[in-house]
Each structure stands twice: as C-alpha cells, then as structure tokens.
Amino acid sequence: MEQKFITDFEITIQSIQSMSSRQFAGTILLFVVEGSLTVSMDGKKYLLQESDILIINRNTIYSISGDSTNILVSLSITNHFFKMQYEAYYHYIFECFSKKVDNGREEVLSQLRRLLAKMVIAHLQKGEDSSVSVQSDLYQVLLMIIRFFKKSIPYQEQIELEDERITRILNYIEHNYGEPLSLTDMANKEFLSPSYFSRYFKQFVGVNFSKYLTSVRLKHSKEDLVHSSESIFQIASRNGFTTAKQFALAFKTTYNQTPASYRKEHKTKGIPNRQMTKQNSGTFSILDSPEVLVKLTKYCDKEMNQSLLGNNFTSEKLTISPTEQSKSTLEHEKHIVFIGELKDILNENIKEQVLMTDSSMKIDFIGIRNLISGSTILSEVNTDETISTISIYANSDLALRTIKDLGFSVFLRINVNEILYVKDYFSKLRAFLNHTIQVFGKEFVQRWHILFYAPKETKLDSSLLENIYETLQRIVKKRAANSQVGVFLPFNEEKETIETSHTWLLNRAHQIDFISFDANRNTEINFEDTSDQNFIKSQNYHMNKTKKLKQFLQKKGIKKPLYLDMWNTLTGDSRYINGTFFRAALIFNTVIELSREVQGLGFWINNEIHERIHKSTDIVSDGLELFHYFNGKRPVYYAMFFKERLYGTIVSMGENHLMTKNEDGYQIAVFHERNFNPRYSVDELFLRQHSKELQVTIDSLEPSEYQITRFKFDRKNGALYDNLRKINSKHGINQEVMKYIISTATPDVEINDEIIEKKWSFYAYMDINSIHFIELKKIESDL
C-alpha cells in the first residue's frame, strides 16, 4: 500500500476514476465539487455526490472509484502537523460524512465547503499572498473539524506521541506488520530489555504488544478480504499470521464472524478484483481550468459565520427523555389585539395586519379605546328631515360589521377620565349599545368584554369609582346580560397591596366578571445600572407578579379570570438601540408560562397606532406591538406564531425547551433565553460570546419515517432590524425596497425526510434569545 508523504499539508483538486487501496499518516478531507465517487474504508462504502464532504482518519486504509465527471478537492494534513496545532489530536478521531451528519450542522458544512474552495482557488492562482491565504483558511478548517466533528476514542486506541521512541515503534509496526515480529525483536531493536519494553509499550499504547500487533494485522486483512481474490491462507500469510487457522480464530474473536463470511458480506460488487499494490494503479488528473474555478466560486458566496470560530464558543448538550406521565396539555389563552379606535379596523393596512395576525396566532378580541370620546361616532348633523339620513353610527356600523364577519369579539376599554370629561357619556353609551344590538343582534354584543379602567395614579375617591363602575355595569348588563364587565386592578407586587383608590372593588368582587392587570418589566429596571445582576434579578417578573396577585385575591376569597392586557418584556427603553435587542425567546417563554395562569393576553397591532393613542413620539413600552411600520413583523409576531403552533400533550419541559406529542407526531421548541442589558445588543462581540451550540438528543421516539420541518428564528433569520440595517439610507428607501426587506425578514425553514429508529439528535446554533422550532410529522406506511 502506498504511503504518501507530504510536508505538513496539501490541497489538491482532481478527477479520480480509480485509486487503489492506500493509507495516509494523517487526516484527509474529501469534498466533491461535481460528479460522484465511492470511498471504501473500514468495510463500508461511502457514496459521495456533489457538495458532499467526508473525513478519512489517520492510518485508515481506503480506496476510491469514481465516475468520469467527478471533481474532487482533497485536503491532506499530516499527523505531525495536526498534532503540533492540537495537543489532544491522538485522543480523538473525526467523524464527518455530510449525508449522515445530524440536523443542524448544515451551517458548519457550508462553511467548510467555503474554506476548502477558497484554499483551492488561492492555491491555483498563485498570487503573492496565496500562501498566507491558504494557511489562514487551513487553521479555520482545523478549528471547525476539532470543534464540531471530533469523537473520543477508547484509551487503548489513543497513541500518545510525546515520546519519539513510541512513534518510531508504531510506525515500524505499521510498515512491517506482514513480517514475523516479536516483542523480543522489537525490544532488541530499541536496545531495551523485553520486560521493560513490554511495560513501556502498554503504558503508552494502553494494550500489550501482542494485542496491538494483532489489531494492526486484522485491520489490513479486512481490506485484503474485500478488495483481493487471494485465498484465506494467502491473506493470512501476507498479513503476518502463521496459519489460516490462527488468522480465522483471531478474526472471529475480534469481529464475531469468520473471514469468509466477512468477505461474502462486504465483497466489492461491480468492480474487478485486484491485488493491492504499492504502486499508484489509479487514474486521476489535476484540474486547474477556469471552468473548475467558476464551479468553486459558488461555494465562496456565503458569508462566514464568525460565531462558529469565536474564542468564546460554547457547546452544550441537552438530552430529552419524553414521558407522558404528567399528561399535561398546552393552554391556549385568549388574544386581544388593540387597534386603537373602533374605526381603525376600516383602515386597509390595519385590516391586513389583523388578518395576518389571526392566521398566525388566532385573535379572539379586537381591543378598542375612546369609543365615545374618539372620532368613530360622528357628530349630530342638523337637517330638515324627519329622520336624518346621516347616521352618527355610519363608521361604527362598518367597523363592527367587519369585526363580526371576521369572527371576532370586542374588548372595549373605558377609561374613567373619558366617562368624567365627555358630556352625557352614559347617555351616549346607552344609545350606542341600543343601536348596535338593533343592527347586529344581542348575541354579538353578549360576547363583548368591557373593561372599566382607572389608572393607579388616579386621585379619585374610592366611593366615586365604585359608583361609576356600578352605573357602567348596570347599563351594559341591562342590554346584554351575558356580556362581561371587568375592572382594572393596579397591584403592587413588592408590597402585595392595591392602591387605596381601588379598594372598593374588593367589596364588589362578586359582581365583577373579570380582572385586568398590567405587567411592564421595563418599569422594574434601572437602565442606567449596567450590571447584569440588575437585569437577571427581574427575570421571572411576569410570573412572580401574576402569582402574587392570585395569592392576594385568594386571601380575599376572590377567584376571577385574569386578563393581562397591557404587558411587556425587557425592551431597552431607548430609540438608540431600538431593534438591536432581539428578544423572541423572552417573549415565547413568558407566554408559555403565563398561558397557565391567565385567561387572556393583550397586544398592540403596530407601533404607529400605539404611539398615536398615547399621543407620544417616543417608544411606548407598556405593550407589545405585532408590527413595525409598513407591515414589518416584530419578534412577538413569530414568537406567538410558534407558541400557537404547539399542540398536543407536553412530554418534556425544561428551562430551555418544550416538547409535545400529538396525533401527527412531535414538536420541539428549543430556545436560548438570556436576560442582559439591552445596551450590549449593539456589541457584536458580546452577542457572539454569549451564543452557543446545543446538541439535542431525544432518546425515545416512536420508530417511523418522519417529515422534519425546522424553523430557525434569530437576529439573522426573521428579525426585521437586521435587514433594515443592511439595506438602508439616510435619504430613505422606496416602497419596493421596503417590501423586499419585509419579505426576506422571515424565519429560516428547512424540510427533509428521515427514518428514525428510536433515538434522534440534532444540533442548534443558538443566538441570544433565538428560537428553534422543529416538527416531526409521522409518515404513515401502507404496509
């Protein structure tokens, strides 16, 4: 067998039709640019097609046969050079066959292809900086295969090369295994006593001399069995065994089958038997044509993901063991989407956003404010007609017709200040309700939720608020008894009390249909304090406040549905970093937790409406907006999309994952939730340092063929800001460009088919607060 010696490393591009069995004292990366070829090694065959990558480990015997069109890039790295760069080289092997790698490694493979293509192009162009460029890419290749494809090997297979003597001994065995070798002969060759040599060899190699020599001979004999037509006796003899019987016994002891049965099972089909030779009997040609370079350049287009190579790269493992013992099911809370005034639903842009939202997360209520004080209900017009043909409810009728036809209900928020400062407020409300019931029917209004809102800062007397609420409830219930009339409760979670002005509702709790509260985490943060602890301590803010509120109400004997209609996670509280702070996982995990505690959650439809209602030009942080301007989807949109997509029974749940089992198969949500000062979100180095690779293993799935759909939602895949940052101008951008930005700001999605026996694993590279959502849909067999 040919032993090819190179200096440190060699990068080549060839077309190989046939290459006889050989081995290399180092690690080889094969990358097929075009065509196909088959690599045989360790009794297995690997079919490589366009874009496939295969790693051949040190001292492995391999052979290649290919079609007439293949183009193959080969990077050969000597053991000596690899060991100089990576001290633990001999403690590992590297497993990478692109057709068989776990899901989630596509990005790594893509970057490997890019680096190998760049190395070849630089090598062939022979520019003045080609050597430096090739070596720079080589070190990145080394880092990536060490980081992502290394696998520990048993101690007895680890060869510690700190001692030059053991290196010399092992190399001698590798090249002379077919000769009669004895422990005494080797000891004499090294000028050592046999007893010392025996202890010395086992200390460094992990097994005794005889066992190691037999393993080397057997390794080479397997290739002879597959690739030659020699008899068992001839193979035994040429590999150092005294008799065929001795060979057969050793072979069966190691591989649990006879040499003859191994040959029958692994014999190369369709390729003429040939003797292994120390000469190069293969056919190949070196390629350096312009056409080949063009084929390589397509692999260089992808931007390098520096996170894969960062010094602070971390890798974690997550093992999921599904169990249905708890039989817990997912809760699906009701959703309120605030659109501002009632007439805003007639705005085509807002209507479009409402329809998109309903398709992704299901809307239950359209939230409206300023019903009487706003501009939806028109002013009276004096005419000489007995019955005016100009209805003050023209806009409201059109809006309510739209809401009803879309299948939604109304969540009407009535501010106490509106009641006090609008002349004849209750008379106007009665007239509106009477008209609405007359036009749309009582059943429609019966589904409405009406919230009486008095802010915690109000200076109004408790008894006055009670009287106003009682009047409001009486007017509504008289016309639609089943409609729900609730009240806002300003709860102080630190003192575990409510404002004095709101104590009246404790006495009227039996008349209240539901309770609304707010939870804006931004109010609990001192954004001037840059320490992480300041942000981490408020991590469970929403759940803590909700549970404390429930405990408070329970002590008062009150049990009512809770609606968290105004809430927000950590945002950044500043226009200077608005958009850079990606928080999808914060929202997703918060909603998962809250869905078990509250009846409903509120959202704003977009920034423009939210800021207009608040009469503010600053970022308003008391609510979550589903859309930015121009229909651009904010992180909450997709976070809710994934949350509502989940269904079935929860079979595993942890701080960074949720898995369900349903009639179609399984769903897994993996997220990297992390609280940190939003000011750091403009620091790319900080973000890379706190990203991580997660190897997820699910150890008990029903064996079947599955269609696997995988969504990736992070700063680079789905976040609107990243696209806006890349494509922008201080002079503005036109509508077509904006539409393009929005259309490309969607989560990355991949789909493939896979047969899963029982255990399944995948890799997920997790940016801070990213979400990976995987669906495994079982393919029903006709058998």
Question: Each residue of 669-681: pLDDT tens digit?
Answer: 999 998 888 878 8
Burial grade of 407 (CB within 10 A; 0-12, 13-18, 19 or more): exposed
Which residues lie below 8 Å from residue 415, measured CB to CB, with a gap of 6+? 369, 370, 453, 454, 455
Q: What is the pLDDT of residues 714-759, one digit of tens each?
A: 988 988 877 777 777 777 778 888 888 888 889 999 999 999 988 9
> Taking a C-beta distance cutoff of 8 angstroms, is the pair 12, 61 a contact?
no
Q: If you search the block for the tokens 């990736």, which residue do you land on?
A: 712
Helix (H/G/I), strand (E/B), else coil: 140: helix
Question: Tokens representing 365?
Answer: 């209520």
Please state, in angstroms and rounded to a whole number, the distance separating the CA atoms of residues 66 and 73.
13
Which residues lie below 8 Å from residue 12, measured CB to CB, with a gap of 6+? 73, 74, 76, 286
Q: Determine the average pLDDT of the residues in 496-504.
A: 92
Please state, in angstroms and rounded to a whole number, the distance separating the CA atoms of residues 625 and 352.
15
Strands 409-415 and 704-713: unpaired
Give the residue from 430, 431, 366, 344 showing the smallest Cα distance to 392.
431
Express the helix, strand and coil content of the chain in percent, nearest 5 each. 40, 25, 35
- Which string of b and e fits 364-390 if b means at least 16 CB within 10 Å? bbbbbbbbbbbebbeeeeeeeeeeeee
Q: What is the pLDDT of residue 174?
A: 79
Q: In this structure, how many other beta carbons lie within 10 angstroms of the beta carbon of residue 98?
A: 21
> Taking a C-beta distance cutoff of 8 angstroms, is the pair 672, 694 a contact?
yes
Q: What is the pLDDT of residue 538?
A: 73
Please give the DSSP secondary-structure letter assigned to residue 7. S
Question: Tokens representing 611?
Answer: 């800021």
Q: Regarding the domain delimited by 2-153, which CATH topology (the fold level of the hierarchy) does it fall under?
A: Jelly Rolls (2.60.120)
Q: Which residues pair with 704 in a beta bridge?
A: 756
Q: What is the pLDDT of residues 372-391, one digit of tens each?
A: 999 999 887 666 665 556 78
pLDDT band at residue 446 using 50, 70 and 90 as cut-offs = very high
Strands laid side by side in the 760-766 sheet: 315-320, 692-698, 760-766
pLDDT band at residue 272 using 50, 70 and 90 as cut-offs = very low
pLDDT at 17 over 70: yes
Helix (H/G/I), strand (E/B), else coil: 768: coil
Strands 150-152 and 497-498: unpaired
> Taking a C-beta distance cutoff of 8 angstroms, is the pair 718, 746 a contact?
yes
pLDDT band at residue 613 using 50, 70 and 90 as cut-offs = confident
Q: What is the pLDDT of residues 212-234, one digit of tens each?
A: 899 888 888 887 888 788 899 99
Q: What is the pLDDT of residues 242-267, one digit of tens each?
A: 899 999 999 999 889 999 998 888 76
Q: Put residue 164 in one of left, alpha, beta given phi > 0 → left and psi -120 to 50 → alpha.
A: alpha
Q: What is the pLDDT of residue 367?
A: 98
Question: Is pLDDT larger for residue 595 or for residue 730?
Answer: 595
Terminal-to-terminal C-alpha distance of the chain? 48
Average pLDDT, the chain: 86
pLDDT at 534 over 80: no
Question: Residues 758, 764, 766, 771: what is their CA dihedral angle, to the nearest 10 degrees?
Answer: -60
Q: Which helix (H) or strand (E) holds 219?
A: helix 209-227
pLDDT band at residue 331 using 50, 70 and 90 as cut-offs = confident
Q: In this structure, how many other beta carbons lie within 10 angstroms of the beta carbon of residue 468?
A: 19
> Taking a C-beta distance cutoff of 8 angstroms, is the pair 111, 144 a contact?
yes
Please state, in angstroms and rounded to a whole number, the distance separating the CA atoms of residues 71 and 272.
23
Question: Is pLDDT larger for residue 100 or for residue 8?
Answer: 100
Question: Is pLDDT larger for residue 133 or for residue 603?
Answer: 603
Please state, in angstroms and rounded to a whole number, the distance separating the CA atoms of residues 766 and 462.
51
Q: Determine the average pLDDT of the residues in 59-74.
A: 89
Tell me, rounded to whole angstroms, the distance of Cα 232 from its chain centroid: 53
Give the residue from 618, 606, 487, 596 showing the smallest Cα distance to 542.
596
Give the residue from 529, 536, 489, 531 showing the smallest Cα distance to 508.
489
Q: What is the pLDDT of residue 441?
A: 96
Q: What is the pLDDT of residue 435?
A: 96
pLDDT at 553 over 90: yes
pLDDT at 5 over 60: no
pLDDT band at residue 286 using 50, 70 and 90 as cut-offs = low
Percent of the chain clearing pLDDT 90 (strictly above): 49
Percent of the chain clearing pLDDT 70 (strictly above): 89
Burial grade of 609 (CB within 10 A; 0-12, 13-18, 19 or more): buried
Q: In this structure, how many other beta carbons lie within 10 angstroms of the beta carbon of residue 776?
A: 23
Q: What is the pLDDT of residue 269?
A: 44
Q: Which amino acid is at 130?
A: S
Q: Residue 674, CB half-sphere, CA atoms under 13 Å: how many?
A: 21
Q: What is the pLDDT of residues 704-714, one digit of tens each?
A: 999 999 999 99
Strands 484-488 and 515-520: parallel
Q: Which amino acid is at 783?
A: L
Q: What is the pLDDT of residue 159?
A: 46
Q: Determine the average pLDDT of the residues in 565-580.
A: 73
Q: What is the pLDDT of residues 389-413, one digit of tens each?
A: 678 999 999 999 999 999 999 999 9
pLDDT at 58 over 70: yes
Q: Determine the average pLDDT of the residues in 645-668.
A: 94
**Phi, psi dihedral angles at 398 (to 5 degrees):** -65, -40
Which one of 3.50.50.60, 1.10.10.60, 3.10.20.600, 3.40.50.10380 gives the CATH number of domain 165-266? 1.10.10.60
**Three-class DSSP labels, 594-644:** HCCCCCEEEEEEEHHHHHHHCCCCCCCCCCCEEECHHHCECHHHHHHHHHH
Q: Determine the average pLDDT of the residues in 39-56.
A: 92
> Taking a C-beta distance cutoff of 8 angstroms, is the pair 722, 728 a contact?
no
Q: If you search the block for the tokens 């630190």, which residue do you land on?
A: 494
Give the residue from 747, 779, 780 showing the smallest Cα distance to 360.
747
Question: Residues 367, 371, 376, 382: what is their CA dihedral angle, to the nearest 10 degrees?
Answer: 160
Question: Tokens representing 296?
Answer: 């390589």
pLDDT at 281 over 50: no
> Taking a C-beta distance cutoff of 8 angstroms, is the pair 12, 66 a contact?
no
**Hey, which bits of 111-156 come out as E strands?**
150-152
pLDDT band at residue 280 using 50, 70 and 90 as cut-offs = very low
Q: What is the pLDDT of residue 298?
A: 85
pLDDT at 652 over 80: yes
Q: What is the pLDDT of residues 197-209, one digit of tens each?
A: 898 888 777 778 9
Give the residue from 699, 698, 747 showing the smallest Cα distance to 722.
747
> Taking a C-beta distance cutoff of 8 angstroms, is the pair 749, 641 a contact?
no
Q: What is the pLDDT of residues 122-131, one digit of tens each?
A: 888 777 788 8
Q: Residue 25, CB half-sphere, CA atoms under 13 Å: how many?
A: 19
pLDDT at 82 over 90: no
> Taking a C-beta distance cutoff of 8 angstroms, is the pair 314, 692 a contact?
yes
Which residues lie below 8 Å from residue 293, measured CB to CB, with a gap of 6+? 121, 124
> Taking a C-beta distance cutoff of 8 angstroms, is the pair 180, 240 a contact?
yes
Tell me, rounded to whole angstroms, the distance of Cα 212 from its chain centroid: 44
Give the residue from 141, 143, 171, 177 showing the smallest Cα distance to 159.
171
Question: Is pLDDT larger for residue 29 or for residue 675?
Answer: 29
Please state, in angstroms and rounded to a whole number, the distance separating the CA atoms of residues 509 and 501.
15
Q: Determine the average pLDDT of the residues in 612-628.
A: 83
Domain ranges of the chain: 2-153, 165-266
> Taking a C-beta distance cutoff of 8 angstroms, is the pair 291, 243 a contact?
no
Question: Tokens representing 678?
Answer: 């939003």
pLDDT at 595 over 90: yes
